[in-house]
Amino acid sequence: MACFSVYIPPEFAINDRNEMVEFIRKHSFGIMVTYSDGFRTSHIPFIITAQDPLVIWGHMATGNQQLRGIGDSRALVIFSGPHSYISPSWYAVPGQVPTWDYVTVHVEGKVKLSSREETTKMLEKMVSFYESGSSLSGKLRGKSYQDMMSGIVGFKIEVDKILGKAKLSQNHSMEDRMGVIDHLSRSSNQDEAEIAKLIGSTLKKK
């Protein structure tokens, strides 16, 4: 049985399960990793279909080789959020090294293949989630869409392990972090500006 792990120093751990679930909801395009005669990966949009216990649902093309042996196997899904390079020139204390700040959540669990009916229901939910207010969700039971569904396979992952990591310069001094915030908050890059806000939120928790 494949078993995955991620390096998370205590100061970077996300310990609030609800926070991790909401992170998945916000950053729902994940990287799914399975092992069957070698590692196989796919980039897949997911929706949360149950929260306690956590269940996520996705689908892939029938031609995707990752489907081989996937039923009742285990999978790792990596959800990535904002990230940014951090220069030591932004720190108050000299002589330090460059690093990278980021936020991610990893989930692991058993994969169960979906029936056609379940796949249709989940796709309706997925369209409603990603395209709120659209009439497309109500059209998926039409013949043309049902014909196209023969080209995909739906599946759910019953999550039994969830880990979150928010590396946001918590291991640096207040002065160093303020320097990082000052630089990133002035950036036009969306990820950099978001990391600045997240670092600021860690200061407010102290």
Residue 104 sits in which domain range? 10-170
Sign for the pseudo-dihedral over CA of 194, 182, 14, 42? positive
Kindly give, in sequence order, each residue whose CB lies less than 8 Å from that of residue 156, ignoring residues fewer than 6 positions away.
Answer: 49, 55, 56, 57, 111, 112, 114, 122
Q: How confident is the model at residue 206 (pLDDT cuts 50, 70, 90)?
A: low
Per the domain annotation, does 182 fall within a domain? no
Instruction: Tell me the mean pLDDT in the region 125-132.
Output: 87
**Are 42 and 60 a contacting pair, CB within 8 Å?**
yes
Sign for the pseudo-dihedral over CA of 70, 47, 160, 24? positive
Instruction: Tell me the mean pLDDT in the region 118-137.
Output: 85
State the CB neighbour count (10 A cutoff) for residue 117.
9
Query: Which uninterrupted H or E stretch holds 153?
Result: strand 152-167
> Is the model's pLDDT at 4 over the cut of 80?
no
Instruction: Tell me the mean pLDDT in the region 88-105.
Output: 94
In the chain, what is the straight-line distance between the N-terminal and C-terminal CA atoms, in Å? 41
Higher per-residue pLDDT: 70 or 80: 80
DSSP codes joined into one string, 167-201: ESSTTS-HHHHHHHHHHHTT-S-HHHHHHHHHHHH
User: Residue 30, class by beta-carbon neighbours within 10 Å (0-12 exposed, 13-18 middle, 19+ buried)?
Assistant: buried
3-state secondary structure at position 11: helix
The amino acid at 24: I
Structure tokens at 92: 């108050």
Per the domain annotation, does 87 fall within a domain? yes
Rounded-to-integer distance, Cα 191 and Cα 206, Å: 24
Higher per-residue pLDDT: 94 or 163: 163
> Is the model's pLDDT at 124 over the cut of 90?
no
Per the domain annotation, does 179 fall within a domain? no
> Is the model's pLDDT at 39 over the cut of 80?
yes
For residue 2, the model assigns a pLDDT of: 57
Tally the domains of the chain: 1
Per the domain annotation, does 192 fall within a domain? no
Task: Report the chain's mean pLDDT, rounded to a whole number.
Answer: 92
Per the domain annotation, does 191 fall within a domain? no
CATH number for the domain spanning 43: value is 2.30.110.10
